[in-house]
Amino acid sequence: MFTEKKKAAQPEFWIAADQVVSSANSGFFAKLEETLESFGFAAKVRALCAPAYNKSGVGRPGIDPVVYLKMIMVGFFEDLPSERAIAARCADSMSIRAFLKYELHESTPEHSSFTVIRQRLGLEIYERIFRLTLQALREHGLLRGKNLGIDSSVIEANASLRALVHRNTEEQYWDYVKRLAAESGIDPDDAAAVRKFDRHRPGKGSNQEWVNPYDPDAKIGRTKDGATDMIYKPEAVVDLDTGAIVQAQVHPGDQADHKEMATRVLEAQQNINQAAGEELDVLTVKTVTSDKGYYAVDELQALQQEDYPNSDRRPD
């Protein structure tokens, strides 16, 4: 037998604190909190972020940067697709609320707060927090720094192809195409004919000619499914023995994978050295694995000059 669960006719107005259901202490985020506390994550992060906050006491207090970074961790570990999804998940889960140290009656930060905090902290603070995290990974045996892998992906930019303007004439894309069609003897009001003309027009969609004024850094390129869109290329360098990310950057969507590959590997090596407390020029990396898009003779030669072992071999 079972008892059908029905909604109460009228909820209790007051509930004793000892009657409130609490989340289990053995959950993933409870263990993550123990790990963060083991190396003083919260205190160190607040010290790093303090210069970015107003010390006069005037105005509304800002959101604790530790809470913000923990919410970012929630998004990473639960593979959430957006800041809005992260905020909704943090508001909904009791275990995550406990991880953020928010009581049931407190409102967790909204997704719009992410933009404010991100702009406040700045790149330098993010880099220092990243190195702090690498130090903690090394202390827990999760950073070896011997075998690295490098690869890039594609993400769609928050920009539309329809908003493209010509860099020289500042014309909208469709207005530009209709003008060219008219100059070629095609009726610009015949939409089908203009589309056919544009489809077979050589050199269209060039990043040297077109730019999105709302996101000038986004580039025209191919997405994972083969469609043309405005894109960026995020890239990560990973410790293959542990899965730890030791270097991450976002490149323009039209940049070749192999461009300055050696420099990015050396930057990853410096991050590893800083986490280990070593001199920046110490070489610990033994192998670097990539796909064929990263193969370039000049980049391999640059690694050879740093006396990297196996750098004369073609990447896997």
Copy the structure tokens of residue 109. 């930060």
Which of the four pLDDT bands, split at 50, 70 and 90, describes residue 313? very low
Give the lowest-confidence range in 31-35, 157-161, 240-244, 309-313.
309-313
The pLDDT of residue 316 is: 45
**CA–CA distances in Å: residue 30 to residues 98, 102, 104, 230, 242:** 8, 14, 17, 40, 22
Is pLDDT at 169 greater than 70 in this prediction?
yes
The pLDDT of residue 72 is: 95
Give dist(CA 261, CA 263) in Å, integer: 5
Average pLDDT, the chain: 87
CA-nearest of 207, 256, 251 to 233 is 251
Give the lowest-confidence range in 67-76, 78-87, 131-140, 220-229.
220-229
What does pTM read for this prediction?
0.78
Is pLDDT at 189 greater than 80 in this prediction?
yes
